[in-house]
A = this chain, B = another copy of it.
Amino acid sequence: MEIKTEIITIGDEILIGQIVDTNSAWMAEKLNQIGISVFQITTITDNREHIMKATEESLNRVDIVLVTGGLGPTSDDVTKKTLAEFFDSKLILNEEVLASVKKRLEERNIELNDLIRGQAYVPDKCRAFVNEWGTAPGMWFETNGKVLVSMPGVPTEMKGIMEKYVIPGLKHKYRLPAILHRTLLTYGTFEAHLSGLLEDFEKALPDNIKLAYLPSAGRVRLRLTAKGDDEKKLELLLDKFEAEMVKRVGEYVYGKNGDTLEQITGDLLRKKGKTLATAESCTGGMVSHLITTVPGSSDYYKGSVISYANEVKINVLGVPEEVISKQGAVSREVVEQMAAGVSNKLKTDYAIAISGIAGPTGGTPDKPVGTVWIAVKSPEKTITEKFIFGFTRLENITRAAYTSLNMLRKLLLNESFQ
């Protein structure tokens, strides 16, 4: 039997677009890890009728309802009294919660007032979870074999209560099948192309394994999900099907699960004991920014010359002026000279160089907006390619940056097999 959950998020801040609901994604991931699938996420207003209706509907849809938000001490937070009404329950003083609230206030030199004291009143038909990270307790209700848990919306408080009480409580209550995920990360092709290559593979998958395509900006994630009772068996099955997928689309695969191109490229450089510099024009520092978001990148990354102006290409990187005037700044010759110049100047083994037209202006019939030349250089050779991304300015910059990292990754891999 599949256990289904719904997450109800109560809060006007999300409905007016003031904050992004990151709680639900965190909760969904935690639940999936223990084999509980999230069937629906519903964000509703801080309003009695809306809460009553949404609660009733979701208890009809699913087995477990996890509610966050609306538990502050002020009068615009109505979740607790509405749930008490829904479960036909009285609010009574919970001494354990009161003691915890008092302790918390004392530590912060805040005096107890009636508003905050109200946090210690909980419905008599629920199990209360003391909130060590705030004042509003978690509340676990059961009705007709179903579970509803109410938690505060503050992320640290919700996460604390989920990890300490809710996840163990659900594990204890339900017998759950194992659910395992395996994600292959691809770069440089399209969902439709990949799905063509994997069409018969996908059709031949057993019923308990599913393949999903998750595309985003130049990248497609291929996710296999396996469900079953025997976790070891599932791992072996996933190993087998993952290997099968790599056979078919391996040339596009750059990593697995939570990997990033910047971290994988960095790991390859570290493993080889090699160093990298970049010379960026149209990407304006984004490649360098991506590389240095990885902790420890100073092990292999020396720095960059952002040669936004042609004179910087000439004076700092040593690109000959006549090459720029003859070929244009966006050309094979210029990026190759930039790559050579920066690896020479910064004394590195490898280099990335990029020059292009990010837009929205600066395009010509010959070189439209989105035209980008990228060179990656090793001690042995330089690989140079031209791309026409043709998106918005920021998207062109982003695509060029990631594409350059992927080219470097391939070069590093090829050379390690020589």
Contacts and interface: CB of A to CB of B under 8 A. Distances in A.
A390 interface: yes
Interface in A302-319: 302-309, 311-312, 315-316
B346 A316 contact: yes
Interface in A34-93: 37-45, 50, 54, 57, 72-74, 76
B27 A394 contact: no
Contact of A312 (B293, B296, B303, B359): B303
A27 B225 CA distance: 30
A115 B192 contact: yes
A127 interface: no
A213 interface: yes
A374 interface: no
Interface string A345-383: 111000000000011110000000000000000000000
Nearest to A57: B57
Given A20-B21, A24-B21, A390-B107, A312 B308 contact: no
A289 B282 CA distance: 10
A306 B309 contact: no
Interface residues of A, number: 105
A189 B20 CA distance: 23
A393 interface: yes
Question: Copies of this chain, how many?
Answer: 2
B304 A195 contact: no
A390 to B, nearest CB: 6
Contacts of A303: 305-309, 312, 316
A327 interface: no
Given A18-B223, A285-B285, A298-B308, 14 more contacts: A14-B28, A18-B25, A20-B25, A42-B42, A113-B192, A285-B288, A289-B397, A292-B306, A293-B394, A303-B307, A304-B308, A315-B345, A315-B346, A316-B316
5 contacts: A39-B50, A156-B391, A304-B304, A304-B305, A312-B346
Interface of A: 12-22, 24-32, 37-45, 50, 54, 57, 72-74, 76, 107-108, 110, 113, 115-116, 133, 154, 156, 181, 190-193, 195-196, 212-217, 223, 225, 278, 280, 282-289, 291-293, 295-298, 301-309, 311-312, 315-316, 345-347, 358-361, 388, 390-395, 397
